[in-house]
Amino acid sequence: MKKQRIFSGIQPSGNLTLGNYLGALRNWVALQEEYECIYSIVDMHAITVRQNPQELRERSLLTMALYLAAGLDPQENIVFIQSHVPEHAQLGWILGCNSYMGELSRMTQYKDKSSRMGDSIPTGLFNYPVLMAADILLYNAHLVPVGEDQTQHLELTRDIAVRFNNAYGETFVIPKGYFNPFGARIYDLQTPEKIMSKSSQNQQGILFLLDDEKTLKRKISRSVTDSLGTISYNDHQPGVKNLLNIFALLRELSIEESLAYFEGKGYKQLKDGVTEAVLDSLLPLQKKVNELMDNRSYLEDLMLHGAQRARALAKVTLADVEEKIGFIPRRTDEYRD
């Protein structure tokens, strides 16, 4: 039987966090055998917020190294940089002509991010979900593993795909979200009501995958808990709950097992337990990333290979779409390469 196809991506908009690892990357690795997986580093999404060019380049490369270090097999999966496949932008334009101001204005991520930008809101930020729809529909992905925060964008992708199919005939697979069955979101260690996000202002509550040992230890030991002093799993103790989630996910234990592990212990031991679990996972990951970053030409070869494979699939969908909407077919590729 043909495997179902998966597409997902992470923006190189900051250094990757433990949230990205537990909410995305680690789950992707688990899916690679069962599905045909396409994983992108979505640099075109990252520039919806102003980036420093040098840093963007470096982080895109680092993100590629992290994908591999986390265990994604670049032969088994297609791993590539979004801007290396121009079909994303091309399909994005066409889908933008089939989406509405009203539906895009309702996106909460847009509302959140734009509320801090005064009068200078880039239109790219508004169109962001259309490009995300193009990413997914270009490959006719069946499933899209993302965190819950992306549900609204996925719904929009489905709406655009259905609308296009109705107007022009069966073209796109209607994708579904694939949510991590363990479903945990990782929250900021300083403000545990807020999701741990790579582009947050205050970095003290964020565990970056490439933070050094000392920094990781310091951030965890200073994480906010509460004055109750008992380790239990409930919404009135968001800091403790978050630490338990991190521990359980990293140690691959259930919450019950984790609670049993910390029974009769205090917050100091909880933090020590989390620190050990974090270091056991991240130090080996960092070692692999460093090795990969020392071998840039290998990374660059993989990027080229990934982009070629992605493009071979993307071209077919784009040509189909262009034909359906009435563009004259390009006779050769000479304008493009």
Q: Give residue 294's identity as a one-letter amino acid code.
A: D
Strand partners, 291: none
Name the residue among 159, 162, 158 with its Cα closest to residue 170: 162
In this structure, is the dihedral angle defined by the CA atoms of residues 57, 12, 7 and 75, taken in order, positive or negative? Answer: positive
Q: Which residue in 84, 185, 305, 324 binds ligand ATP (CB under 6 A)?
A: 185
Residue nearer to ligand LTN on the CB measure, 207 or 216: 207
For ligand ATP (CB under 6 A), the number of binding residues is 21
Residue nearer to ligand ATP on the CB measure, 164 or 208: 208
- Which structure tokens are listed for 166? 């109705």
Residue 59 sits at the vertex; the CA angle it makes with 153 and 193, to the nearest 5 degrees, is 50
136 contacts which partner out of ligand ATP, ligand LTN, none, CB within 5 to 8 A by kind? ligand LTN
Helix axes 123-138, 296-325, angle to 10 degrees: 90
- Which structure tokens are listed for 301? 């070869």
Q: Which stretch binds ligand ATP (CB under 6 A): 15-23, 83-91, 207-215, 316-324?
A: 15-23
- Which structure tokens are listed for 147? 């965190």
Cα distances (angstroms) measured from residue 330 to each of 168, 172, 313, 316: 20, 21, 17, 12
Q: Give residue 95's identity as a one-letter amino acid code.
A: L
Question: Residue 150 Cβ, how far from ligand ATP at the closest point, in Å?
Answer: 5
Hey, which residues between 152 and 211 contact ligand LTN (CB under 6 A)? 153
26 binds ligand LTN, rule: CB under 6 A: no
Question: Residue 9 Cβ, how far from ligand LTN at the closest point, in Å?
Answer: 4
Residue nearer to ligand ATP on the CB measure, 190 or 197: 197
CA distance 171 to 320: 8
Residue nearer to ligand LTN on the CB measure, 144 or 207: 144
134 binds ligand LTN, rule: CB under 6 A: no
Q: Which residue in 38, 95, 130, 136 binds ligand LTN (CB under 6 A)?
A: 136
Cα distances (angstroms) measured from residue 231 to each of 113, 223, 277: 35, 14, 17
Interaction mask 122-161, ligand ATP, x per CB under 6 A: ------------------------xx-xx-----------
**Contact footprint for ligand ATP (CB under 6 A):** 10-11, 13-14, 17, 19-20, 22-24, 146-147, 149-150, 185-186, 195-199
Provide the binding-site residues for ligand LTN, judged by CB under 6 A: 7-9, 11, 42, 45, 132, 135-136, 144, 146, 150, 153
